[in-house]
């Protein structure tokens, strides 16, 4: 019914991703086929799981029901991929057919009371049914209370178009998607919590390939840099995959702040040589996102360390020197710093 596209988990450098993931530092980088490591929700608190709703209450299995990821941009609005919420008939799903879960890292821990209903699904009006303009907004029926495991992420303004993020920028992509390297028409091999779909959320660092003016994304066809970001590794091995679709491609600054640069959209298989992942370029849709949701770019800054401590610490070292942007930045230090309030 839905095109389930998710991203395979990626490979995270333990030092880069976080100190409070209970087991991330124990997992060798090559332990997982597509390069991911488990993380804690507090590392990616904007990440939500989109589940098919249990309309007949037959079971509650969050693992089997998870269809896509998404990202909180406020305490009510979520950005996801259009292909996650559009059925084979080309129509947007009815809001009652989907649930959202926030703040829970392990899908089999989900109880029916953790499922939140939706009251709006807004698909980009120029979504082509495949991967052009692959972006949608969904709205929770009620606002959620924010805490260290569920926090919105800022999204970038239209002024980033053609300018940011620079080639080589590091992103963190996360989700419950397939962890296996997959050929282009291969299905994720197993469907159980010990199998290849992640039960506990995983994340991996992927690099921007080509930057905002790239002419191609490896050997992927149908890449359009105006509306897509190319990220991964030309050599393969790290990527998003089936089940990660709709989830966040998050860019960090120097000070623990994060911004939603992309949305997991498509690829040619997962983690294949010459086929990096392709992500919807969020800045291309800044005006639509604001018009539909009322949430402004950079309106929901989040700095993980200012949430719990006064001294910011870096979760992900992205200091490459070539990516520090100032376009439409706000607050001291330009867009790289968002202070502590929302
Ligand atoms: C998918 O099938 C999918 N490697 C999502 C992302 C990628 C590939 C496939 C990127 O949903």
Give the tens place of pLDDT for each residue, 243-300.
Answer: 999 999 999 876 778 999 999 999 999 999 999 999 999 999 999 999 999 999 986 5
- What pLDDT is recorded for position 98? 97
What residue ranges in 92-201 does DSSP mark as E strands? 98-102, 116-123, 136-140, 170-175
Cα(178) to ligand 1 centroid in Å equals 9
**Cis status of the peptide bond prior to 167, with omega within 30 of 0:** no
Q: How many CA atoms lie within 13 A of 139 on its CB side?
A: 13
Per-residue pLDDT band for 34 (boundaries 50, 70, 90) equals low
Cα(55) to ligand 1 centroid in Å equals 27
Catalytic residue, candidates 37, 42, 83, 293: 83
Residues 6 or more apart whose CB falls under 8 angstroms from that of 194 comprise none
In the annotation, is 124 catalytic?
no
Mean pLDDT score of the chain, rounded to an integer? 80
Nearest atom of ligand 1 to the alpha carbon of 5: 11
The residue whose CB lies within 8 Å of the most ligand 1 atoms, and thus the one to mutate among 3, 4, 7, is 7
Specify whether the CB–CB gap between 233 and 227 falls below 8 A.
no
What residue ranges in the chain does DSSP mark as E strands? 37-38, 47-52, 66-72, 77-80, 98-102, 116-123, 136-140, 170-175, 202-208, 228-232, 248-252, 258-266, 277-281
- Per DSSP, the three-state class of 304 is helix
From 95-109, 178-192, 209-223, 321-335, the region with the lowest mean pLDDT: 321-335
Cα(21) to ligand 1 centroid in Å equals 25
In the annotation, is 43 catalytic?
no
Q: Which sign does the torsion angle of CA 71, 77, 83, 86 carry?
A: positive
Specify whether the CB–CB gap between 19 and 254 falls below 8 A.
no
In the annotation, is 134 catalytic?
yes
pLDDT above 90: percentage of residues in the chain? 68
Residue with tokens 């569920």: 150
The residue whose CB lies within 8 Å of the most ligand 1 atoms, and thus the one to mutate among 82, 84, 177, is 177
Closest CA to ligand 1's atom 1: 5
User: Based on the number of CB atoms within 10 Å of its own CB, is 278 exposed (0-12), middle (13-18) or buried (19 or more)?
Assistant: buried
Q: What is the pTM of this model?
A: 0.81
C-alpha separations of 122 from 95, 183, 215 in Å: 10, 32, 30
Distance CA 243, CA 68 (A): 5
C-alpha separations of 231 from 79, 84, 249, 306, 326 in Å: 19, 20, 9, 28, 22
Residue 18 has pLDDT above 60, yes or no: no
Average pLDDT over every residue of 98-124: 96
Cα(15) to ligand 1 centroid in Å equals 26
Catalytic residue, candidates 174, 240, 245, 265: 245
Specify whether the CB–CB gap between 14 and 37 falls below 8 A.
yes
Nearest atom of ligand 1 to the alpha carbon of 83: 11
Delimit the domains of the chain by residue range: 43-337
Distance CA 81, CA 137 (A): 8
From 126-140, 176-190, 222-236, 301-315, the region with the lowest mean pLDDT: 301-315
The residue whose CB lies within 8 Å of the most ligand 1 atoms, and thus the one to mutate among 134, 180, 245, is 245
Instruction: Select the more confidently predicted residue: 122 or 318.
Output: 122
Look up residue 30 and give its DSSP letter: T
Does the domain formed by 43-337 have CATH 2.40.10.120? yes
Who lines ligand 1 at CB under 6 A?
A: 5-7, 239-242, 244-245, 264, 266-267, 270, 277
């Amino acid at each position: 019914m839905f095109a389930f596209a998710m991203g395979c988990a990626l490979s995270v450098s333990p030092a880069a991703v976080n100190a409070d993931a209970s087991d991330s530092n124990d997992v060798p980088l090559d332990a997982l086929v597509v390069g991911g490591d488990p993380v804690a929700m507090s590392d990616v608190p904007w990440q939500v799981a989109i589940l098919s709703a249990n309309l007949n209450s037959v079971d509650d299995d969050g693992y089997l029901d998870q269809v896509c990821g998404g990202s909180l941009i406020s305490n009510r609005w979520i950005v996801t991929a259009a292909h996650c919420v559009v059925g084979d008939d080309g129509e947007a799903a009815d809001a009652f057919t989907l649930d959202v879960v926030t703040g829970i890292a392990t899908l089999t821990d989900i109880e029916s009371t953790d499922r939140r209903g939706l009251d709006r699904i807004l698909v980009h009006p120029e979504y082509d049914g495949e991967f052009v303009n692959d972006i949608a907004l969904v709205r929770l029926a009620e606002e959620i209370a924010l805490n260290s495991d569920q926090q919105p992420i800022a999204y970038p303004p239209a002024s980033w178009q053609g300018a940011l993020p620079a080639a080589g920028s590091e992103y963190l992509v996360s989700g419950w998607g397939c962890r296996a390297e997959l050929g282009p028409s291969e299905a994720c091999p197993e469907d159980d919590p010990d199998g290849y779909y992640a039960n506990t959320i995983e994340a991996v660092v992927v690099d921007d390939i080509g930057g905002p003016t790239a002419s191609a994304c490896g050997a992927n066809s149908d890449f359009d840099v105006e509306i897509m970001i190319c990220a991964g590794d030309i050599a393969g091995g790290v990527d998003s995959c089936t089940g990660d679709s709709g989830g966040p491609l998050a860019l960090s600054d120097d000070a623990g702040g994060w911004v939603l640069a992309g949305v997991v959209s498509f690829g040619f298989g997962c983690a294949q040589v010459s086929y990096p992942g392709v992500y919807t370029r969020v800045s291309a849709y800044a005006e639509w996102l604001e018009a539909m949701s009322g949430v402004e770019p950079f309106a929901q800054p989040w700095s993980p360390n200012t949430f719990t401590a006064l001294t910011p610490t870096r979760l992900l070292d992205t200091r490459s020197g070539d990516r520090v942007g100032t376009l439409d930045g706000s607050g001291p230090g330009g867009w790289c710093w968002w202070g502590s309030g929302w």
